[in-house]
Structure 1
Amino acid sequence: MPTGVHIRDVRKQLFDAAERVLFRDGPSALTSRAVTTEAGVAKGVLHRHFEDFDAFLAELVQDRVARVEDRAAVLRQAAGRGTVGGNLVTALTDLFDPIAVGILGLVVFRDGLRARLRQAGLPGVPVMSQASAMISAYLTDERALGRIAADADVDSLALALVGTGHLLFAGREPVEPGAIERVVDTVMADVVQRRLP
């Protein structure tokens, strides 16, 4: 790219490029050169906007965390509508898109990135922690509405759903049709309040 050409919203352009690389090639292929090449910008552009590559990745993860938090509001609005299982299946399927799974791989394998995320106030495994909180809050709302058992341990249910969902979606091969529905049905079987005919 010629120097002196103004790039509009360069951060978004770089984040979008990183997501395309993650989707196409996986976390091991995500390098600063791969991002700038995909974005069609000079390598120095990334380093003008971010202290280093881990700082770039930390902001990419924070962007994904913000998306999970936005989804949490949508899921909570679904409480009392549809079925509990259907709402959970939709939430988990949306949550574990290939980009989110790739980002989780980055967090697990890059020590510098995890350190940056802790400094930014994101302990644990970002995205997974927010996902668990999202599911727990939704199940709390459903419990208050009487659609799941009053003694349901919503935090443990959320961990089981998010952890199992991640295992299902973490492979490079497509998830078998109906797999997430079976997981949700199994985890929630003893707590969903069934309506009598």
Structure 2
Amino acid sequence: MPTGVALRDVREQLFGAAERVLLRDGPSALTSRAVTEEAGCAKGVLHRHFADFDAFLAELVLDRAARVEALGATLCASAGTGDVTGRLADALTELFESVAVAIVGLVTSRDGLRARLRRDRPTGVPLLTDAASALAAYLAAERDLGRLAPDADPDVLAPTLIGAAHLLFADRTGPRPGAETVRRTVATVMGGALRDG
């Protein structure tokens, strides 16, 4: 590892390596050695920048949660344009084709990581909760613009969409659902909440 590399570069290199291990081998294969070997750096690099491996994993989860928030901001900015069902299907696909499914598995399988995350996030599963909040904000904006029925409840629709999509994408080793499957799922969940036209 060259000296003088900015901390952010090291973090991103390690986070990227962790994602590759997660996607390729699953949460049970994610160890500090696997991450540093994948990153091509000495094991001490990880421990120089993070208190321990659970601290590293917590930062990885929080970093990826921030990306979900950015996806949500982009989605909210699109309110009033395009097809609501299509926008939701695209957002859910982007979310679940990323490392999100693997991170959810990681969080649920590691007690120490979950306990660390609970300090600042006492409820829900990180990434899924963030995604539900992002979708709820988008749906509320669309309702305010009259594109959803006035009685549509974004706080119920959003987690329902997240749960349905998560089930479609949950098998990380199986085939990915097609765009039409995701769109049909979204259309079914949204049902009578969507206004015609």
TM-score normalised by structure 2 residue count: 0.93
Q: Which amino acid aligns with 1:125?
A: V
Measure the CA separation in 1 of the matches of 2:57 and 2:146: 41
Q: Which amino acid aligns with 1:108?
A: T
Return the offset for 1:100.
1.0
Measure the CA separation in 1 of the matches of 2:52 and 2:66: 21
Q: Which residue of 2 aligns with 1:74?
A: 74
Q: Which residue of 2 aligns with 1:55?
A: 55
Give CA deviations for 1:31-55 in whole Å, capped at 9, x if unaligned.
Answer: 1110000011111111111111100
Measure the CA separation in 2 of the matches of 1:176 and 1:99: 16
Measure the CA separation in 2 of the matches of 1:117 and 1:7: 31
Q: Which residue of 2 aligns with 1:181?
A: 183
Task: Name the SS for the 1:125 alignment partner.
Answer: coil
Contact 1:54 1:112 survives alignment (8 Å): yes
How much identity, in percent, do the aligned residues show?
59
Asked if 1:170 is matched to 2:170, the reply is yes
Contact 2:169 2:177 survives alignment (8 Å): no
Task: Name the SS for the 1:135 alignment partner.
Answer: helix
| Structure 1 segments (4+ residues) deviating >4 Å | none
Residue correspondence of structure 1 range 78-157 to structure 2 within 5 A:
78-121=78-121, 123-157=123-157
Q: Which amino acid aligns with 1:184?
A: V
Is there any run of 5+ residues in structure 1 with no aligned partner, and where?
Answer: none
Distance 1:166 1:57, change over 3 A: same
Task: Name the SS for the 1:80 alignment partner.
Answer: coil
TM-score normalised by structure 1 residue count: 0.93
Return the offset for 1:120.
3.2
Return the offset for 1:98.
4.2
Q: Which residue of 1 aligns with 2:24?
A: 24
Distance 1:24 1:108, change over 3 A: same
Q: Which amino acid aligns with 2:183?
A: E
Q: Which amino acid aligns with 1:173?
A: G
Is there any run of 5+ residues in structure 2 with no aligned partner, and where?
Answer: none
Q: Which amino acid aligns with 1:88?
A: L
Q: Which residue of 1 aligns with 2:3?
A: 6
Measure the CA separation in 1 of the matches of 2:32 and 2:111: 17
Give CA deviations for 1:25-77 in whole Å, capped at 9, x if unaligned.
Answer: 12111111100000111111111111111000000000001000111110001
Return the offset for 1:174.
2.0
Contact 2:69 2:134 survives alignment (8 Å): yes
Measure the CA separation in 1 of the matches of 2:184 and 2:94: 17
Paired residue total: 192
Distance 1:120 1:94, change over 3 A: same
- Aligned CA-pair RMSD: 1.3
Return the offset for 1:158.
0.5
Contact 1:164 1:183 survives alignment (8 Å): yes
Return the offset for 1:12.
1.2
